[in-house]
Amino acid sequence: VEKGLKDYYSSYFPIGVAVTPQQLKDSAQRRLILTHFNSLTAENAMKMGPIHPQEDRYEWTGADAIVNFAVANGLKVRGHNLCWHSQVPKWMFYDKAGNLVTKEVLLGRLKEHIKAVVGRYKGKIYAWDVVNEAVSDNPKEFLRNSLWYQICGEDFIAKAFEYAHEADPKAILFYNDYNTESPEKRQRIFKLLKKLIDAGVPVHAVGLQGHWSIKDPSKEMLGAAIQQYADLGIKVQVTELDVSIYTDGNIPENAGAEGASGFSPELQKLQANQYANFFQIFRQYKGSITGVTFWNLSDRYSWLDNFPVRGRKNYPLLFDKDLQPKAAYWNVVKF
């Protein structure tokens, strides 16, 4: 049997990948997944919009396919996610007359949702991203001004964790976000986590999404961030790793400055170096890091092909479009 990523890292942490149910039907991709990964995340299938399209209707097909595949093959599953400002079903925030619901009604809906989804996969999903991206990118603001926040104030965050803990007391519960290593946003994320922990809210870990680039972040910045979160007594996972070949950031307003450059040998090299840097830090902090998950399998398809610029091809992963290991792959397994 061919040695894969998960085998090189077996004494460190599980290595995961975000997948779609469709991908699992393709034998070449299935093989690549089983060779290299021992954890799965649903790229979209477990999000509130896809899984709970109407108040009285859940769509379990995609999520079930991923969980069943994982169980059949002995892979772990991370649940993603329970409460986010994006990909929310249309009905969630409104009543029948089209007015925004009250805080009481919204928290009731959130509770039902979490109970149903976490309950269905209890014992099969070991970790959940409970709240995703609730902290603002704006230094003058603490929390994101989402409809969750507008209707409930800060409370929805603690409540989401409480509901999830009630539904599966053994699940490891995450707060998950991007730019978690930027010294500036980090302070706000730290403040939120500390507040929750001090209040006795069951938050067990922080997810660093890891949508990084050939330029950012530096090893120093990444190490300092991991250390700061670990000092809170919580675990850290990298939940959505990819290394963009563009350096114009993942905030749509800033992006689009760079045109499609193709994946030149120079960019390959920069990317391979950057992957080596990141995994060196992950190994160094192995006591705090309990998982690293890639956001998509290979450069055949990445969500970054459409984000932040529609239709701009990216090459952010360890395997190329023919599912072959890239220079970055060999750097990650060479240590």
Binding site for ligand XIL (CB under 6 A): 43-44, 132, 209, 240, 303
Classify 25 in phi/psi space as left (phi over 0), alpha (psi -120 to 50) or beta: alpha
Report, in Å, the least distance between residue 287 CB and ligand XIL.
Answer: 25
Report, in Å, the least distance between residue 329 CB and ligand XIL.
Answer: 21
- Which residue from 232, 235, 259 is spatially nearest to 245, judged by alpha carbons? 259
Report, in Å, the least distance between residue 119 CB and ligand XIL.
Answer: 22
- Please give the C-alpha separations between residue 30 and each of 2, 4, 27, in angstroms, as whole numbers: 14, 14, 5
Q: Cα–Cα distance between 221 and 185 in angstroms, integer?
A: 12
Q: Cα–Cα distance between 20 and 116 in angstroms, integer?
A: 21
User: Which is it for strands 211-213 and 205-208: parallel, antiparallel or unpaired?
Assistant: unpaired
Q: Cα–Cα distance between 302 and 290 in angstroms, integer?
A: 24
* 133 noted as active-site residue: yes
Report, in Å, the least distance between residue 95 CB and ligand XIL.
Answer: 27
How many C-alpha atoms does 324 have within 13 Å on its Cβ side?
3
Q: Which of 240, 253, 258, 266 is catalytic?
A: 240
Report, in Å, the least distance between residue 295 CB and ligand XIL.
Answer: 6
C-beta of 209 vs 331, nearer to ligand XIL: 209
C-beta of 132 vs 180, nearer to ligand XIL: 132
C-beta of 44 vs 136, nearer to ligand XIL: 44
Q: Cα–Cα distance between 325 and 284 in angstroms, integer?
A: 24
Closest residue to ligand XIL in the complex (CB): 303
User: 293 pairs with which residues across the strands?
Assistant: 16
Q: Which of 133, 141, 181, 258 is catalytic?
A: 133
Task: Enumerate the active-site residues.
Answer: 133, 240
